[in-house]
A and B are shown apart, each in its own frame.
Chain A
Amino acid sequence: MTSRLKDRDALVLVGSVLSLGVVLWLMSAPLAHLPAPIGPAAQQFSEGARVTIQLTLVSAVFGLLLGVLGALGKLSAVAPVRWLADLFVWVIRGTPLLLQILFFYLALPAVLPGVQLSEFWTAVVALSLNVGAYNAEVIRAGINAVPSGQVEAARSLGLSRFNTFRDITFPQAVRISLPPLANNLVALLKDSSLAYAIGVVELSMVSSRVQAESFQPVPVFLTVAAIYLVLTTTFTQFAGALERKLAVGKR
């Protein structure tokens, strides 16, 4: 019974990765069969979805790294490291994402004249920092939720701080953090639409363009909403299956 459950989870994991791939590469085919204004713009929609997914996944990876670093920083014994991490989280969570994206687009070249980033990578920087700050909070809470008695037991067995973190704290913190991290991922996917403000041609930008050309907002926005729903649902399913797969030792 448990193994069948595990099998189903594995199926969902593989299935959601596959369906992401389908959205990425094959979506334009079915869309092309739809009447105007969708059919003729199928290529644009699938391009936009691809950019949205790329923005999301690349930022998610960096955001996860930043989140772990931020959480460790917040829990550091070194006060200045703690302050830096707190400052990072405070600034990012306390200001609008749109402002952050515009800041990196407009102000970064002025501050660092040597740095030339494309619109896509500018958006990645802003989105990574943004989701990273939220992840830091979530991971910090996850680390704190690991019972301190287990850490003491590990230390009393002679395990180093590093080994205790790697073998005891981290794996359990990941499990605890997974559901809220998945929420952050879904939020990131939706937030990636703000990249349209600096001209990244992602899904929302496409919808606004196609709408402007066809003057048919209803089918255009319904289509885009449907694509977003497919993507967010895929992410949620993936996260849920991963969570169940990792939930060992619980009854």
Chain B
Amino acid sequence: MSKGEVIISVDKVVKRWGSFTALNEVSVSFKEGEVVCIIGPSGSGKSTLLRTINRLEEHDGGRIVVDGIELDGDTRHIDAVRAEVGMVFQSFNLFTHMTVLDNITLAPRRVRKWPREQAEKVARELLERVGLLAHAHKYPSQLSGGQQQRVAIARALAMQPKVMLFDEPTSALDPEMVNEVLLVMRDLAKSGMTMLVVTHEMGFAREVADRVIFFDGGRIVEEGDPAQFFTRPAHPRAQAFLSQIKHAG
């Protein structure tokens, strides 16, 4: 599968909390248009990797370069990267005091300085795309979990990011709502978006991902083609993990 240039490069990145090392010299790169699923046991550092990529956490060592911009101490670099990288959280994190439309238009208006009409036009297009145009004037509390997560995806897309990060986007959802969110993500992947997805949805990973990364203890212990990874994982930790979730699921 031929994909574009490297858009995110993570080089020997270390993240510590006190004496605990959450990321232990992680090196990995992601190409434009690539969809990568990140899996691994709880506490292995999956969220931490995503969070360091848009600087919700500061890494303690190594280098992270996103679209040619290095995440160093320079706040202009951080703001520039954040504007290019959209993030979708497990718990949606919609702004509860704003309507769906305002949730989506806020960042384009404040950060991109778009006039309200332009921001609302784009927001409506995105709402149409995630199937929620009729709910534009509702508040988040009036929506189901699946609907909220679709709004959260639209909100991130409104900034026209080059990369989308998803941290277990369906884990907080009731089972019957998982599919509506995965459907939106599938469409997004088809449209060529670069996506890093932490997920335990094996079906999605098999079908959509170009590559699977398996985390354990703050390191990437296996990386490869989804079909191969899910049928014949090489690393014993990956074998143990996969058999565990297969039994649980």
Chain A residues within 8 Å of B86, by CB: 156-157
**Interface window among A25-33, A66-74, A166-174, A190-198:** A166-174
For B39-62 the 0/1 string (1 means CB < 8 A from A) is: 000000000000000101000000
Q: Is A157 a contact of B95 with CB atoms below 8 Å?
A: no
Quick one: which of A149, A159, A248 contacts B107, CB cutoff 8 A? Answer: A159
The answer, yes or no, to whether B142 is at the interface (CB within 8 Å) is yes
Q: Is A155 a contact of B95 with CB atoms below 8 Å?
A: no
Using a Cβ–Cβ cut-off of 8 Å, how many residues does chain B contribute to the interface with A? 28
Question: Distance in Å from the Cβ of A232 to the closest Cβ of chain B?
Answer: 29
Question: Distance in Å from the Cβ of A174 to the closest Cβ of chain B?
Answer: 10
The answer, yes or no, to whether A175 is at the interface (CB within 8 Å) is yes
Q: Is B89 a contact of A153 with CB atoms below 8 Å?
A: yes
The answer, yes or no, to whether B232 is at the interface (CB within 8 Å) is no
Q: Is B110 a contact of A248 with CB atoms below 8 Å?
A: no
The answer, yes or no, to whether A249 is at the interface (CB within 8 Å) is yes
The answer, yes or no, to whether A251 is at the interface (CB within 8 Å) is yes
Chain A residues within 8 Å of B155, by CB: 153, 157
Chain A residues within 8 Å of B56, by CB: 152, 155-156
Q: Is A167 a contact of B110 with CB atoms below 8 Å?
A: yes
Q: Is A150 a contact of B106 with CB atoms below 8 Å?
A: no
Quick one: which of B79, B96, B106 contacts A167, CB cutoff 8 A? Answer: B106
| Complex: A149 Cα to B149 Cα, angstroms | 14
The answer, yes or no, to whether A216 is at the interface (CB within 8 Å) is no
Q: Is B139 a contact of A248 with CB atoms below 8 Å?
A: yes
The answer, yes or no, to whether A4 is at the interface (CB within 8 Å) is no
Chain A residues within 8 Å of B87, by CB: 153, 156
Question: Distance in Å from the Cβ of B67 to the closest Cβ of chain A?
Answer: 13
The answer, yes or no, to whether B83 is at the interface (CB within 8 Å) is yes
**Given contacts A147-B93, A156-B54, A156-B87, is CB(A251)–CB(B79) below 8 Å?**
no
| Complex: A113 Cα to B30 Cα, angstroms | 69
The answer, yes or no, to whether B91 is at the interface (CB within 8 Å) is yes
Q: Is A251 a contact of B93 with CB atoms below 8 Å?
A: no
**Given contacts A152-B89, A157-B155, A158-B107, is CB(A251)–CB(B96) below 8 Å?**
no
- Chain A residue nearest in CB terms to B158: A157
The answer, yes or no, to whether A154 is at the interface (CB within 8 Å) is yes
Tell me which residues from 143 to 171 in chain B have a Cβ below 8 Å from any Cβ of chain A: 152, 155-156, 159
The answer, yes or no, to whether B245 is at the interface (CB within 8 Å) is no
The answer, yes or no, to whether B111 is at the interface (CB within 8 Å) is yes
| Complex: A102 Cα to B161 Cα, angstroms | 60
- Chain A residue nearest in CB terms to B107: A157
Chain A residues within 8 Å of B152, by CB: 153
Q: Is B82 a contact of A156 with CB atoms below 8 Å?
A: yes
For A139-152 the 0/1 string (1 means CB < 8 A from B) is: 00000000101101
- Chain B residue nearest in CB terms to A163: B110
Instruction: List 20 A–B pairs whose Cβ atoms lie within 8 Å, in order of A's numbering.
Output: A147-B93, A149-B89, A150-B96, A152-B89, A153-B93, A154-B107, A156-B85, A156-B86, A157-B83, A157-B111, A157-B155, A158-B79, A158-B83, A159-B107, A248-B97, A249-B97, A249-B98, A249-B139, A249-B141, A251-B142
Chain A residues in the interface with B (C-beta under 8 A): 147, 149-150, 152-160, 163, 167-168, 171-172, 175, 248-251
Chain B residues in the interface with A (C-beta under 8 A): 54, 56, 79, 82-83, 85-87, 89, 91, 93-98, 106-107, 110-111, 139-142, 152, 155-156, 159
